[in-house]
């Protein structure tokens, strides 16, 4: 079992919340490491909460309604892009599996099965794509797909191609709306004081304030 290092009082600091492990610390072994992992993963710095606030004293201005709209539009675009790309990724895996099955003999086809990642790299991506289409029945669909790919792969390909076309059509329609609305609000979103100006102008242009201002001017002129 790896020895746990707990004395960070004399360790080198990096900001208020990180400490460096000493050179004498025996690092745990990992058989799955590659040279790339060794070059990019952190094995030296550990989180060490100091219970002091790291927040800046700078007070950021509140987003205006136009900024909120721009952020919301970006979120909607991102979400729709993710849905389309996840579906396309799994669809490509299914098309590859179908191509492989088309070159198999009947005996090979009867033994052929897919893994949880559909012979790809990410089981999570497959689950997300199926859940988007089949909801709570996605798990059962995945199990059936793994056990009987020769039956379900063509059906699922047809289903996912239709969803891909549907979502891309939706994105095309949404892009027109987003573009129109973005052009309308983009310039306003760049002004941090647009809401303040609006309130100030409304206050100044109220009839009572205008009359009061003219009365003050009249009194000043009459005085001189």
String of DSSP letters for 84-128: HHHHHHHHHHHHHHHHHHHTS-HHHHHH----TTTTSS-HHHHHH
Residues 6+ positions from 161 with CB-CB distance below 8 Å: 91
Which of the listed ranges 14-28, 68-82, 197-211 does the model predict with the highest average pLDDT? Answer: 68-82
Using the 8-state DSSP alphabet, how is residue 32 labeled?
A: T
Q: Cβ of 142: how many Cβ atoms within 10 Å? A: 21
Label the pairing between strands 18-20 and 13-14. antiparallel
Beta bridge partners of 138: none
Q: Cβ of 145: how many Cβ atoms within 10 Å? A: 22
Beta bridge partners of 171: none
Q: So where are the chain's domains?
A: 65-188
The predicted-structure confidence for 169-196, as pLDDT tens digits, reads as follows 999 999 999 999 889 888 878 776 666 6
Mean pLDDT of 74-102: 93
The residue among 64, 73, 78, 77 whose CA lies nearest residue 181 is 73
Distance from the first to the final alpha carbon of the chain:
93
What's the pLDDT band for 197 if we cut at 50, 70, 90? low
The first and second tokens of residue 34, run together, are 């590659």
What's the pLDDT band for 50 if we cut at 50, 70, 90? low
Cα-to-chain-centroid distance, residue 94: 25
- Residue linked to tokens 């999570």: 124
Is-contact 11 20, C-beta < 8 A? yes
Using the 8-state DSSP alphabet, how is residue 45 labeled?
A: E
């Amino acid at each position: 079992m790896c020895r746990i290092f707990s004395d960070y009082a004399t360790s080198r600091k990096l900001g208020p919340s990180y400490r460096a492990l000493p050179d004498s610390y025996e690092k745990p072994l990992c058989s799955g490491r590659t040279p790339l992992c060794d070059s990019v993963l952190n094995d030296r710095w550990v989180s060490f909460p100091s219970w002091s606030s790291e927040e800046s004293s700078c007070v950021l201005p509140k987003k205006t309604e136009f900024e909120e709209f721009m952020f919301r539009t970006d979120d909607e675009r991102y979400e729709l892009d993710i849905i389309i790309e996840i579906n396309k990724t799994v669809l490509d895996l299914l098309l590859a599996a179908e191509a492989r099955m088309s070159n198999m003999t009947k005996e090979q086809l009867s033994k052929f099965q897919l893994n949880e990642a559909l012979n790809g790299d990410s089981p999570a991506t497959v689950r997300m794509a199926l859940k988007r289409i089949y909801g709570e029945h996605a798990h059962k669909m995945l199990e059936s797909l793994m056990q009987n790919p020769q039956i379900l792969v063509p059906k699922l390909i047809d289903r996912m191609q239709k969803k891909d076309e549907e979502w891309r059509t939706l994105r095309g329609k949404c892009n027109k709306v987003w573009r129109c609305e973005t052009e309308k609000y983009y310039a306003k979103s760049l002004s941090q004081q647009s809401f303040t100006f609006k309130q100030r102008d409304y206050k100044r242009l109220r009839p009572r304030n205008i009359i009061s201002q003219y009365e003050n001017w009249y009194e000043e002129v009459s005085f001189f």
